[in-house]
Chain A
């Protein structure tokens, strides 16, 4: 059974940093592309970014509002993907979901999400 378990969310002040983790199991993590998707309270889904498998280059891409502030990384030895968030803004407040992602954009598996609140 595929499981994605996010952790690391919480309350942080504007300008602060937070690192989210997503522990994966039940599939071949080393070959998987992984992404983060967020959802602000009462709003729709927004793709945040993606990291390819190392076999496919391990490269990352991000949506424009988070470029230069967020970094996705992975540790294949721990079956874990991370989202490092710096210079946080109030508009980054959202539930952050970890997902698997196919090369053509489909996210078949999602975690339960972790809430990040950016507020003074």
Chain B
């Protein structure tokens, strides 16, 4: 079993760049793909990054994902911040042990002010 830990909140100004981390408690972060979801208030989550660094069609290239195996962390970077990026962001990975497929991070509230 492992957990994914995210900062509770981050804030940055419009036009700036922000990075949200997602740290795996045990085992290599590179062992299983990491996804990132955006959830705006009152709406369901949507994918901004899948399979570590892939963007679904329609997601702007201001969103990027990366993996740092040495630090057991994945990161979501959003550049050129816009007020519409203000949302909750969740990382997610896969755990095939103990028949538990999917693990979510606790979520990060991004404030753009």
Q: Footprint of B on A, CB under 8 Å?
A: 35, 37, 44-47, 50, 61-64, 97, 101, 104-108, 110-113
Number of CB contacts from chain A to chain B under 8 A: 68
Known contacts A44-B90, A110-B46, A112-B44; decide if A105 and B101 are in contact (CB<8 Å).
Answer: yes
B113 within 8 A of A: no
In Å, the complex CA distance between A66 and B46 comes to: 25
Q: How many residues of B contact A (CB 8 A)?
A: 26
- Verify B107–A35 contact, CB threshold 8 A: no
Do A45 and B47 form a contact, CB below 8 Å, given A61-B101, A101-B101, A105-B35?
A: no
Q: How far is the CB of A48 from chain B (nearest CB, A)?
A: 9
B8 CB, min distance to chain A CBs, angstroms? 10
Chain B residues contacting A64 (CB-CB under 8 Å) are: 100
Instruction: Find out whether the CB atom of B101 lies under 8 angstroms from the CB atom of A35.
Output: yes
With the chains together, A46 CA to B93 CA distance in Å?
A: 12
CA distance A97 to B51 in the complex (A): 21
| Interface hub of A63, A104, A110, A111 (most chain B Cβ within 10 A) | A104
Interchain nearest-CB distance for B36 vs A (Å): 10
A94 → chain B closest CB, angstroms: 13
Q: B47, B100, B102, B104: which contacts A44 (Cβ < 8 A)?
A: B104
In the complex, which residues 61-113 of chain B have their Cβ closer than 8 Å to any Cβ of chain A? 88, 90, 92-94, 99-107
Scoring B37, B101, B105 by chain A CB atoms within 10 A of each residue's CB, the highest score goes to B101
Complex contact A44–B107 (CB within 8 A) = yes
